């Protein structure tokens, strides 16, 4: 039988002053990862070598010039050098303009290679928004940065875990603005992008469970009319397009429906409702997918953790799960 070619996955080291290099090395120490992918690191060999002791890993750091040179061999980290950063340019635990410019350039370079088809997908290790802004990448966050680099018109973040997946209609907005922002068009947009994003990671017909906004989904209008006037019409429009949009379901029980296996992903109306649930049961393993991009782009669901950088105690589960997903697989049990 002909061997199946392993997909090449680009992964950045994130902000070199944070935990990114450490957790990446820990994740790349998993030999099973190389059975399903060829990881290609975008970063700095000197930084990675310095982090081998921190991570407790004895791995060969091998600089390469092109994605095609990556061999995908367990025990060897294939790294494409980005820029001319040195260890003298920063202090571990304190990001600055140099580390921000470097981490931004790593992501930009990896996305550029993916746009040519050389990479199946891209994973970004944690970065500092403040450092990146100081370094010239003046965007509000990961989504806005990746949108610009990938040339995306419209995207959302899907939070993925081992058993629970989540998107949100509203994110970082005042709670008082949420009812107004949960319009029919806004809900329909998120349903469409969620369907597209879940299909990009291998689901042919994602089952999307939509949460209500009000207690008991508004009790037929007694506790609010957003479900009747906005959310249900959006669900009906999505179903008319062939999307498996289900609901709305009461916000206090919708995760129980997913636990029972009824959905592949949940859409929450606001940030803290969905995030509180998924972080309670999946904290440490969840990661983010940029849904709507021309190819899968992932990042971890945590920050640079400057306070513990260099101490060897950072956990790698989030980036490990993202690397497997970027190759089209799940972490083996």
Q: What average pLDDT score do residues 258-280 get?
A: 94
Residue 213 has pLDDT above 80, yes or no: yes
Q: Clarify whether residues 64 and 175 are in a common domain.
A: no
Q: Clarify whether residues 40 and 102 are in a common domain.
A: yes
Residue 1 has pLDDT above 80, yes or no: no
Q: Clarify whether residues 231 and 211 are in a common domain.
A: yes
Q: What average pLDDT score do residues 255-275 get?
A: 95
CATH label of the domain that carries residue 271: 3.40.718.10
Residue 2 has pLDDT above 70, yes or no: no
> Tell me, what's the pLDDT at 24?
98
Task: Report yes or no on 177 lying in a domain.
Answer: yes
Q: What average pLDDT score do residues 168-191 get?
A: 96
Segments forming the whole domain that contains residue 238: 163-280
* Strand ranges for 125-189 from DSSP E: 156-160, 165-168
- Please give the residue that has the higher pLDDT: either 306 or 5: 306
* Strand ranges for 169-227 from DSSP E: 207-211
Residue 145 has pLDDT above 60, yes or no: yes
Task: Report yes or no on 185 lying in a domain.
Answer: yes
Confidence band, pLDDT 50/70/90 cuts, at residue 3: very low
Q: Clarify whether residues 264 and 319 are in a common domain.
A: no
Task: Report yes or no on 109 lying in a domain.
Answer: yes
Contact 59, 31 (CB under 8 A): no
* Strand ranges for 132-281 from DSSP E: 156-160, 165-168, 207-211, 244-249, 265-268
Q: Clarify whether residues 143 and 13 are in a common domain.
A: yes
Task: Report yes or no on 79 lying in a domain.
Answer: yes
Q: Clarify whether residues 310 and 231 are in a common domain.
A: no
Token pair belonging to 96: 């600055």
Q: Clarify whether residues 124 and 170 are in a common domain.
A: no
Task: Report yes or no on 1 lying in a domain.
Answer: no
Q: Clarify whether residues 215 and 140 are in a common domain.
A: no
d(CA 268, CA 265): 10
Residue 54 has pLDDT above 50, yes or no: yes
Q: Clarify whether residues 193 and 270 are in a common domain.
A: yes
Cβ within 8 Å of residue 58, ≥6 positions away: 52
Q: How many domains does the chain have?
A: 2
Q: What average pLDDT score do residues 143-151 get?
A: 95
Q: What average pLDDT score do residues 97-126 get?
A: 98
Q: What average pLDDT score do residues 174-183 get?
A: 97
Task: Report yes or no on 105 lying in a domain.
Answer: yes
Quick: pLDDT tens for 113-142. 999 999 999 999 999 999 999 999 999 889
Q: Clarify whether residues 121 and 191 are in a common domain.
A: no
Q: Clarify whether residues 38 and 89 are in a common domain.
A: yes
Sign of CA dihedral 43, 47, 49, 52: negative
> Tell me, what's the pLDDT at 172?
87
State percent of the chain over pLDDT 70.
98
> Tell me, what's the pLDDT at 162?
87
Average pLDDT of the chain to the nearest whole number: 95
> Tell me, what's the pLDDT at 95?
95
Q: Clarify whether residues 58 and 93 are in a common domain.
A: yes
Task: Report yes or no on 333 lying in a domain.
Answer: no
Task: Report yes or no on 331 lying in a domain.
Answer: no
> Tell me, what's the pLDDT at 4?
60
């Amino acid at each position: 039988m002909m061997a199946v070619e392993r997909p090449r996955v680009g992964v950045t080291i994130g902000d070199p002053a944070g935990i990114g290099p450490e957790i990446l090395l820990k994740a790349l120490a998993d030999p099973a990862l190389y059975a399903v992918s060829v990881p290609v690191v975008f970063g700095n060999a000197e930084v990675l070598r310095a982090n081998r002791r921190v991570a407790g890993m004895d791995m060969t750091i091998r600089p390469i010039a092109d994605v095609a040179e990556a061999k995908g061999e367990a025990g060897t980290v294939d790294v494409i050098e980005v820029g001319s950063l040195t260890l003298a340019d920063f202090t571990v635990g304190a990001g600055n303009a140099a580390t921000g410019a470097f981490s931004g350039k790593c992501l930009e370079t990896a996305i550029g290679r993916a746009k040519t088809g050389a990479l199946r997908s891209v994973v970004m290790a944690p970065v500092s928004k403040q450092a990146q802004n100081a370094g010239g990448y003046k965007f509000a966050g990961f989504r806005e940065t990746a949108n610009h680099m990938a040339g995306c018109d419209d995207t959302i973040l899907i939070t993925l875990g081992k058993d629970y997946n989540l998107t949100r209609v509203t994110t970082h907005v005042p709670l008082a603005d949420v009812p107004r922002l949960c319009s029919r068009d806004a809900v329909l947009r998120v349903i469409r992008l969620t369907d597209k994003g879940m299909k990009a990671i291998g689901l042919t017909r994602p089952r999307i469970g939509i949460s209500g906004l009000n207690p008991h989904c508004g009790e037929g209008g007694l506790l609010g009319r957003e479900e009747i006037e906005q959310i249900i019409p959006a669900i009906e429009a999505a179903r008319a397009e062939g999307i498996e949009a289900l609901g709305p379901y009461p916000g206090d029980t919708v995760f129980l429906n997913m636990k029972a296996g009824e959905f592949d992903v949940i859409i929450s109306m606001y940030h803290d409702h969905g995030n509180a649930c998924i972080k309670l049961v999946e904290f440490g393993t969840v990661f983010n997918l940029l849904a709507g991009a021309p190819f899968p782009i992932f990042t971890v669901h945590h920050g640079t953790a400057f306070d513990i950088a260099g101490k060897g105690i950072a956990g790698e589960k989030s980036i490990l799960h993202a690397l497997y997903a970027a190759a089209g697989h799940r972490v083996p049990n």
